[in-house]
Amino acid sequence: MTETIGFIGLGHMGLPMARNLLDAGHAVRAWNRTAARTDALAAAGAVPAASPADAAPEKGIVVTMVADDRALEEVVFGPGGLAERSANGLVHLSMSTIAPETARRLAAEQARHGGLYASAPVFGRPEAAAARKLWICLSGSEAARARVRPILEVLGQGTFEFGEDSGAANVVKLSGNFLIAAAMEAMAEIAALAEKSGLERSAVIGMLARTLFSCPIYQNYGAAIAERRHEPAGFRLALGLKDVDLALQAARSAGSPMPMASLLHDRLLSAVARGRGALDWSALALGAGEDAGLPARR
């Protein structure tokens, strides 16, 4: 069954996701902060909306996929924001990577006005989004989850549910990004050790990524780290720092220290301070090399 779906945020991730909704036969009303990005989607059949509120279908679903907590709050509470349409059953399907507490607050606000809110952050890069290969974490009220499940099937290869707490899916998303960053730092440290010991960085990481750690995270990031290849950015380092900080903030609220996340925060902040915020976040690996007196460039 198809329907009209609102889609807000046509960035590297949002655009291919919205396309997939169109391809699946849904009508899409799209809005983006910088209007130029809506044109491509309009050519594929989407209807440009004048504001987030204008994109929201009556009693329908509106997907948000924006850069960070602040952008999402602007989309909801700013002028022409979704809050104007919360009443009467609007379903906010919130897929951005944001803080669990932001998700909980938005869900509570939405509920107060009679709407529904589902948290559904995703794992995957733009190519995965285009290929419907995203992994999706879902949480929120049973009513909200029931309403959005069919949509998520169109967007990803699998959805994992984490119960009623609207912040839960965000905890999982931030945990996953933290796990990736931790694996990258660990590989960075052995790459530096290898180089300083006279071994080939690629040989060491390659061996481990073909045996004990034969999964794409180790294989792809491992190759980038071994070769110091951090452009173009698949995921910008400055955003990686933002996500590790969100994890630390969630850990602060929950009362759960994360020393490894603290270490990653320091590494990523140092990389930003050295002007690497626009590189791929695997560039955090340059820090371990510099600490060992190695040059940052090949």
Which residues 228-287 are close enough to bind a second copy by CB under 8 A?
A: 245, 247, 250-252, 254-263, 265-267, 269-270, 272-275, 287
Helix axes 237-254, 259-273, angle to 10 degrees: 150
Instruction: State the burial class of residue 43 (Cβ atoms within 10 Å of its Cβ: 0-12, 13-18, 19+).
Output: exposed
Q: Establish whether 173 is a catalytic residue.
A: yes
Does residue 219 sit in helix, strand or coil? helix
Judged by CB under 8 A, the chain residues 126 through 145 that form the site for a second copy are: 135, 137
What ranges in the chain are assigned the alpha helix state H?
A: 14-23, 36-43, 52-55, 69-77, 100-112, 126-130, 142-155, 168-196, 201-210, 216, 222-227, 237-254, 259-273, 286-291
What is the nearest approach in angstroms of a second copy to the Cβ of residue 210? 8
Give the nearer residue to a second copy in terms of CB position, either 1 or 259: 259
Nearest CA to 68 among 145, 181, 217, 174?
174
Number of residues interacting with a second copy: please give it, by CB under 8 A. 75
Judged by CB under 8 A, the chain residues 62 through 101 that form the site for a second copy are: 100
Q: What are phi and psi of 36, to 5 degrees?
A: -55, -35
**Which of 22, 165, 223, 296 forms a contact with a second copy (CB under 8 A)?**
165
Give the nearer residue to a second copy in terms of CB position, either 3 or 195: 195
What is the nearest approach in angstroms of a second copy to the Cβ of residue 67? 18
Annotate each residue in 14-53 with x if it binds a second copy (CB under 8 A) or - if it does not, as one string.
Answer: ----------------------------------------
The residues annotated with a catalytic role in the active site are: 173
